[in-house]
Amino acid sequence: MAMALRNAFYAQSGGVTAVINASACGVIQTARQHGDRIGKVFAGRNGILGALTEDLIDTSAESDEAIAALRYTPAGAFGSCRYKLKGLEESRAQYERLIEVFKAHDIGYFFYNGGGDSADTCLKVSQLSERMGYPLAAIHVPKTVDNDLPITDCCPGFGSVAKYIAISTREASFDVASMAATSTKVFILEVMGRHAGWIAAAGGLAADEQHDLPLVILFPEIVFDPDKFLARVDAQVKRYGYCSVVVSEGVKGADGRFLADAGAKDAFGHTQLGGAAPVIAGLVKNALGYKYHWAVADYLQRAARHIASRTDVEQAYALGKAAVEAALAGQHAVMPTIVRTSDSPYRWTIGQANLSEVANVERKMPREFISEDGFGITAACRAYLQPLIEGEDYPPYKNGLPDYVVLKNVPVAKKLAGSFVV
């Protein structure tokens, strides 16, 4: 008996990255190569919300060129969302609605591209489909700049942020070094990472044997000690003439509060909005009197496809491809992973994890990746991080700007009568 031709559903979840569309590219191109098994690939407009509201995008309306361009286009081409489904009982209506929409559009493959929460959702959808006797290959495609998924050696999206932060830290340090004699002596760069210091750690790569830069890194894993920090900065300025500080947005003081929530108020009495960097700058200014500058990279860091890591792009694509291949091999409730087989030369291959082992497990940065004094990275951390930023993968340019693709995102005609309020 010939296998039935069934459609696929792909959705992007949570914060987007420079390479999540490379995974989408891997999924769609691989599905197109298996037209005997996979019919159309539908995408959720704004992620899983698109499935709940039956707002599907027909990716078959996009040319091969447009799909190929996803490989070098940052952010989420179909829209993503922050919408967390809870337990099967609590969110039963949502899960049943998903299956109802999948049935209506003859969807036999579900590719969910996200972090820990979406791995959990993907697992529950798989379990419910089984319970309901609806055949569905639910596969999770990992993605998160936070690099906090278990089992996989790293997460697509992280390597490119790491590269951006390492380069920016090096470039800004060169700038400050040139000016320090008469101007700025302390430069502070705020980076993402509310729960883990992976991104902050990447700032440490800016310095190496050829580039002796005075860096102080503030990790969310280390309770902020203002006196120790100021003493370190002062020592670096006295030795090098300047100092660069990389501060994670997730750094907390001894009182357990984020530095960024230090409670500054504007002239109207409104609470000032975020920013660990200006808080650190204030400390430096008031305690040491040095001229400072600060930057907050925010979305620039995770959208910076112009300087994406080639390793990261290749892995993002390979994981999308592997997800489709796993589904075609009859697997479900799994996530393809990156397996590191060698540090130097760096070698990796694709592995697989059961979603039951992925969902709700957060990988922390090992303490042995942070130097004993808490302000830097260790050799082990460098050996882990360095390959992930390796290689460049420049997008094509037009008129001096990256020529990123904007898809048509043609809607699929609705088949269900009722609407669903999310």
Residues in binding site for substrate? 144-146, 192-194, 249, 299-302
State the minimum distance, in angstroms, from the CB of residue 28 to a second copy.
Answer: 17
Residue numbers in the known binding site are 15, 144-146, 192-194, 249, 299-302
Which one, 129 or 244, has the nearer CB to a second copy?
Answer: 244
Residue ranges of the binding site for diphosphate: 15
Query: Least distance to a second copy from the beta carbon of 150, Å?
Result: 25
Q: Would you say 85 and 96 are in contact if contact means Cβ atoms under 8 Å apart?
A: no
Pairing of the two strands 215-218 and 334-343: unpaired
Nearer of residues 6 and 305 to a second copy, judged by Cβ: 305
146 is catalytic: yes
Cis omega before residue 345 (within 30°)?
Answer: yes
Answer for the pair 34, 90: CB distance below 8 angstroms, yes or no.
no
Q: How far is the CB of 317 from a second copy (least distance, A)?
A: 18
Residue 217: CB minimum distance to a second copy, A: 16
Packing angle, helices 158-179 and 310-328, rounded to 10: 170
The active-site residue, picked from 146, 148, 312, 393, is 146
Neighbouring C-alpha atoms within 13 Å toward the C-beta of 232: 17
Which residue's CB is nearer to a second copy, number 171 or number 362? 171
Q: Which is nearer to a second copy, 189 or 322 (CB)?
A: 189
Q: Is 139 left (phi over 0), alpha (psi -120 to 50) or beta?
A: beta
Which class for 400: exposed (0-12), middle (13-18), buried (19 or more C-beta within 10 A)? exposed
In Å, how far are 41, 70, 185, 330, 391 from 307, measured between CA atoms?
29, 15, 27, 37, 10
Among residues 89 and 212, whose Cβ is nearest to a second copy?
Answer: 212
Would you list the DSSP string of 181-230? TTS--EEEEEE--SS--HHHHHHGGG-BTTB---EEEE-TTS---HHHHH
Smallest distance from a second copy to CB 386, Å: 6
Q: Catalytic residue positions?
A: 146
